[in-house]
Structure 1
Amino acid sequence: MGEEAIRENWVKNVERVLSELSREFNVEAAIVFGSWSRSGGGDWSDVDLLIVSNSVSELSILDRFSLTSEFRKWRVDVFLYTLKELENMVNKENPIALSALVEGIPLIMNREVEKLRRKAISTYKRTGRVWIKIT
C-alpha cells in the first residue's frame, strides 16, 4: 500500500471514530499523536487518538476502556479523558498527555484544551524518550 493510500486510510478510520464518539459525547478535543504525528506512521502503525470530553466524567476507567476498545478494529487506539484529568496528567508529566499536546495534530480543540496545549508546549520538550521541564 502506498504512503498516500495509508494516510487516506487512517484519516478515514479517525473520522469513523470521531463520528461514533460524537453520537455519544461532546468531543471537546481530538488530537492524533504518536508515530503518526511525529513521522507519519506506516502500514504497521496504529493511530493514537486523544479525546477530551467532560461528558465521560461519570464513566469509570474500565467502562471507558470497554467503550474505546471497539475502535481497535479500525486500528485506532483511543485515550478518553476529561479536561481535568488531562490537566492533572500534564502536571504529573504524563508522557501520553505531553506527547499529544506538544507533538500532536489537533483535529478538534476548544479554548480550554488549546490553553493547556500552549502551557505544555512552553513548559516541556522531548529529549529522546523523556520529557524535560524547560521552565
Structure 2
Amino acid sequence: MEKVIQRRRMERLRVVEAAKHWAQALPGPLTAILVGSYARGDFNAWSDVDVILISPRFRGLRVPERLIAVDAPPGYEVVAWTPEEFEEMLSRRNPLAVEAVVHGVVLRDDLGLARAARQRNTIAG
C-alpha cells in the first residue's frame, strides 16, 4: 500500500511541475491555477489537467480564440478568463472559481489574483 501512495504522490508532483513549467512559458502577465482532481489529489488514469488561466490579454477574445491563444498541451483542459470575469465568478460563488481559491494549486500569479482571493477567502464559508 505504501508503494501505491508513494507512486501517486510522485505522479501528482510530476503533473504539477509540468503544468507549472507550461504556465511559466506563457507570455504576458497572468495568473494560472491548477484545479480539479490533480489539485485535490484524487486523480485517476483518465483525469485531465485542469487549469484556469486569467489574463487581461483575453479581453475582447471569444472563448475559442482564447484557447487557441494559449495552445495547451494534450490532456489539458483550460478555462480562460479575464481578471474581471474571475472576480465576477468569485462574487457569484461559481464552483470552479471557488475551487481555485480553496483547493487550487497556484502555478503562476503575476496578477496577484490568487493571493488576493485567498486573503479575502470569504467564499469558503
Bin of the TM-score, shorter chain as denominator length: 0.7 to 0.9
Q: Return the letter of the residue paired with 1:90.
A: L
Separation (CA, whole Å) in 2 of partners of 1:114 and 1:45: 26
- Please report how far the alpha carbon of residue 67 of structure 1 lies from its aligned counterpart in structure 2 after TM superposition: 4.0
Separation (CA, whole Å) in 2 of partners of 1:21 and 1:91: 27
Separation (CA, whole Å) in 2 of partners of 1:82 and 1:56: 6
- The question of whether the paired residues in 2 share the 8 Å contact of 1:27 and 1:51 is answered with no
- Please report how far the alpha carbon of residue 106 of structure 1 lies from its aligned counterpart in structure 2 after TM superposition: 0.9
Separation (CA, whole Å) in 2 of partners of 1:96 and 1:32: 11
Separation (CA, whole Å) in 1 of partners of 2:82 and 2:119: 18
2:123 aligned with 1:124? yes
Q: Write the mapping of 1:46-85 to structure 2, written as runs, cut at 5 A.
A: 46-67=48-69, 70-71=71-72, 73=74, 75-85=75-85
- The question of whether the paired residues in 2 share the 8 Å contact of 1:6 and 1:42 is answered with no
- Please report how far the alpha carbon of residue 54 of structure 1 lies from its aligned counterpart in structure 2 after TM superposition: 0.7
Alignment RMSD (CA, Å)? 2.5
Runs ≥4 in structure 1, deviation > 3 angstroms?
65-68
Separation (CA, whole Å) in 2 of partners of 1:39 and 1:7: 7
The answer for the alignment partner of 1:97 in structure 2 is 97
| 14, 22, 25: which one aligns with 2:19 | 14
The answer for the alignment partner of 2:45 in structure 1 is 43
TM-score when normalising by structure 1: 0.71
TM-score when normalising by structure 2: 0.75
- Please report how far the alpha carbon of residue 3 of structure 1 lies from its aligned counterpart in structure 2 after TM superposition: 2.6
Q: Return the letter of the residue paired with 1:31.
A: I
The answer for unaligned runs of 5 or more in structure 1 is 126-133
Q: Return the letter of the residue paired with 2:115.
A: E
Separation (CA, whole Å) in 2 of partners of 1:108 and 1:20: 10
Percent identity reads 25
Note closer, same or farther for the CA distance 1:4–1:93 as it changes in structure 2 (3 Å cut): closer
- Please report how far the alpha carbon of residue 4 of structure 1 lies from its aligned counterpart in structure 2 after TM superposition: 5.1
**Secondary structure of the equivalent of 2:90?**
helix
Count of residue pairs the alignment pairs up: 119
The answer for the alignment partner of 1:129 in structure 2 is none
